[in-house]
Amino acid sequence: MTPPNCVRCKTKAVIRMREHRISFCREHYLEWVRAQTEHVIEKYHMFSKEDRILLAVSGGKDSLALWDVLYHLGYPADGLYINLGITEANDYSNQSQFLTEKFAAERGLNLHVVNIPTTYGSPVPTLALRTKRGKYKPCAVCGLIKRNVMNRIAREQQYNVLLTAHNLDDETAVLLSNTFVWQSEMLLRQMPVLEEGNGFSRKAKPFCRFTERETAAYTILSGIDYITDECPYSEGSKQFLFKDILNRMEEEQPGFKLRFYVSFLNTKKQGYFVNPNPEMDKPREMFICPECGSPTSRDDICAFCATLKENIAPRKSKKTETP
């Protein structure tokens, strides 16, 4: 079969997207990704060039691609890299920090770095190991730490928008897993944009409509040097199973993931997902955590600080020790 031509300039295409029935050369593909991102930012009213934007960057393909796209579109986004202190998988954390710093320096972008071992005394896997939640896998504690750090930096540095580079594969895997067990509260909250409230900045996901293949193609075709190793703790994650199911559906029916996600959002927009307790949508009474200054719904230290305390002084009772 003759390779397809770029739909714009008719030269040989480097990427063909069956889900959109289009093919592009390198130059027009990069242009298309940038234009589509701008379209998503405007469609979901994510942010404008006047906002103070902070992007969580991991050194991986998605976050560096998003930072590059925003840079080309003229959105003044600063980066936040969190070094988790993971040394396995070829010195994973230091290597990804190095690549993120190199990316930022090459473009003159502003990057905040938070080092978890220096700030909290131990790397994430060690912090997690000493807690009940992270006894077998550090991911739940890691997620809690990352969210706390992102919110804290946004608050301290007055960023009103916090971005993550979740792509369509991530979003549909979460959607599928929540649908399987009818996690209605999570389904209600899953949106491309979460408005600011209760002391937290607005959160947005400008890559939510691009597949992982599309973001990877952007990173490679742009010549961005990114970390190819996965975090060693991601192995065995249920997310991979859901992604695999969705990839098989996509193979059979190109465009399946996008239809699944967009029809979910449209159904929600039509009012089919309604909170049975409207009181829950109202701004809640919030407190300030006396330890870290985070807004919290608990009239006590926040969940993050409670986890760290558990870590510093593990509870001794048998009940606490039992998983």
Name the site residues for Zn ion (rule: CB under 5 A): 6, 8-9, 25, 28, 289, 291-292, 294, 302, 305
Residue 234 contacts which entry, ligand Q46, Zn ion, none (Cβ below 5-8 A, type-dependent): ligand Q46
**Around Cβ 93, how many Cβ atoms within 10 Å?**
25
In the complex, least distance from residue 84 CB atom to ligand Q46, rounded to whole angstroms? 6
Question: Binds 131, which of Zn ion, ligand Q46, none (CB < 5 to 8 A, cut-off by type)?
Answer: none
Q: Which does 143 bind (CB under 5 to 8 A by kind): ligand Q46, Zn ion, none?
A: ligand Q46
256: DSSP letter:
H
Q: Which does 65 bind (CB under 5 to 8 A by kind): ligand Q46, Zn ion, none?
A: none
Distance in Å, CB of 122 to ligand Q46, minimum: 14
Of 84 and 168, which has the nearer Cβ to ligand Q46?
84
Nearer to ligand Q46, 180 or 240 (CB): 240
- Which parts of this chain interact with ligand Q46 (CB under 6 A)? 84, 138-139, 142-143, 231, 233-234
Other CB atoms within 10 A of residue 313 CB: 9
CA dist., res. 141 & res. 321, Å (int): 17
Tokens 């465009």 identify what position? 255
Nearer to Zn ion, 246 or 305 (CB): 305
Give me the least distance between CB of 170 and ligand Q46, in Å please: 10
Closest C-alpha to 96, from 216, 226, 223: 226
- From the list 19, 12, 52, 51, the residue with the least C-alpha distance to 36 is 19
By beta-carbon proximity to ligand Q46, the closer residue of 30 and 153 is 153
Q: For ligand Q46, which is the closer residue by CB, 88 or 106?
A: 88
**Closer residue to ligand Q46, CB minimum distance, 186 or 286:** 186
| In the complex, minimum distance from the CB of residue 172 to ligand Q46, in angstroms, rounded to a whole number | 17
Residue 294 and residue 304 in contact, taking contact as beta carbons nearer than 8 Å: yes
Alpha helices in the chain, H assignment, sequence order: 26-43, 61-73, 88-107, 116-120, 124-129, 139-156, 168-180, 184-189, 212-222, 238-252, 256-269, 303-312, 318-321
DSSP states along 179-247: HHTT-HHHHHH--SEE--BTTB-EEE-TTTTS-HHHHHHHHHHHT-----SPPGGGTT-HHHHHHHHHH
| 305 binding partner (options ligand Q46, Zn ion, none; Cβ < 5 to 8 Å by kind) | Zn ion
Beta bridge partners of 82: 114
Name the binder of 25 from Zn ion, ligand Q46, none, CB < 5-8 A by kind. Zn ion
The DSSP secondary-structure symbol of 3 reads P
Q: Smallest gap, in angstroms, from Cβ of residue 258 to Zn ion? A: 23
* Distance in Å, CB of 261 to Zn ion, minimum: 28
Name the residue nearer to ligand Q46 (CB basis): 6 or 84. 84
